[in-house]
Structure 1
């Protein structure tokens, strides 16, 4: 059996992606982390069995998590800071 069918391997992979997100914050690895944990839970409860289905669920869960985190934590429209005076003005 490869690691694709082992539930705890997906959870460990998710936590590793979470650590990588803390080291290099870009909100990209967070989507992969959430997708891996969701996939690990689904493999653990027996919903997923085959390799193609597991990879498809991982890809879709990661993409959905990335869109959610981008929506919640990403740049907001119209939030650019406009400076109206210089720091050196008295």
Structure 2
């Protein structure tokens, strides 16, 4: 039954990656990468813990993936503007 669960996680990962196309800013990409990795781990049999532990591991992997994606392809110079004076002055 783990192989079926693995495929469901991979399909969910693809759905999240498609949602990322409609929501800019790396909103779903870290979660999609973590869910995809967890699906691969379930398919190969390297992960056999229960659902609560799987969800915790996925949350931690999601944070790590999001952080790494932001570091690699993050904010470009000039993308964020810091205002140093009030527009009404």
TM-score bracket for the superposition, by shorter chain length: 0.7 to 0.9
Q: Does 1:63 align with 2:43?
A: no
Structure 2 distance, partners of 1:57, 1:42, is 11
**Unaligned runs of at least 5 residues, structure 1:** 83-90
Structure 2 distance, partners of 1:45, 1:80, is 43
1:23-63 deviation per Cα after TM superposition (whole angstroms, max 9, x unaligned): 11210200010000000011111122211221122111111
Structure 2 distance, partners of 1:56, 1:44, is 18
Rg (Cα) greater in structure: 1
Aligned residue-pair number: 78
Structure 1 distance, partners of 2:21, 2:78, is 25
The residue number in structure 1 matching 2:52 is 52
**Unaligned runs of at least 5 residues, structure 2:** 82-89
TM-score, length-scaled by structure 1: 0.75
Runs of 4+ aligned residues of structure 1 deviating over 3 Å after TM superposition are: none
TM-score, length-scaled by structure 2: 0.76
